[in-house]
Amino acid sequence: MLTGSELLAKVKELGDVSKSDLVRSCGYVSTKKDGSERLNFTAFYEALLGAKGVSLGTDSVGRGTGKGGRKLSYTTKIQFNGNLLVGKAYTAMLDLKPGDEFEIKLGRKQIKLVPIGGADEEE
């Protein structure tokens, strides 16, 4: 994915092409699980605005920083029905999508969720 001055130069070079071709040519494309193409328009336009020096004033989850929303506590508790809830803000930070699968690894006093097909990374 192109960013900064490279992105601006590519947009100028391509001139009058469709928005889809522009996004694709700049590398803002991913592959869905079914093998089809997904154009990432939002990421493209955010990068384009950033390259032009425009800040959207958002944090990593996409909420405005000036709105005073709740801060993530990085804690959770077992629900009344025994389920353990991981909220949308956390899954958004990791760019997780519905249908993503995880292996549950149990330690002595910990639970680890490891993406299936991913590496078990220590942080």
| Domain-wise residue ranges, the chain | 4-51, 67-115
Instruction: Compute the mean pLDDT over every residue in the chain, rounded to the nearest whole number.
Output: 81
pTM: 0.45
Tens digit of pLDDT for each residue in 48-85? 888 888 766 655 555 444 445 567 778 888 888 999 88
* pLDDT reading at 34 higher than 70: yes
Tell me which fold the domain 67-115 belongs to: Pemi-like Protein 1; Chain: D (2.10.260)
**What pLDDT was estimated at residue 73?**
78
Which helix (H) or strand (E) segment holds residue 51: the answer is helix 41-51
* Residue 11: partners with Cβ closer than 8 Å, 6 or more residues away: 22, 26, 48
**What pLDDT was estimated at residue 81?**
92
**What pLDDT was estimated at residue 118?**
60
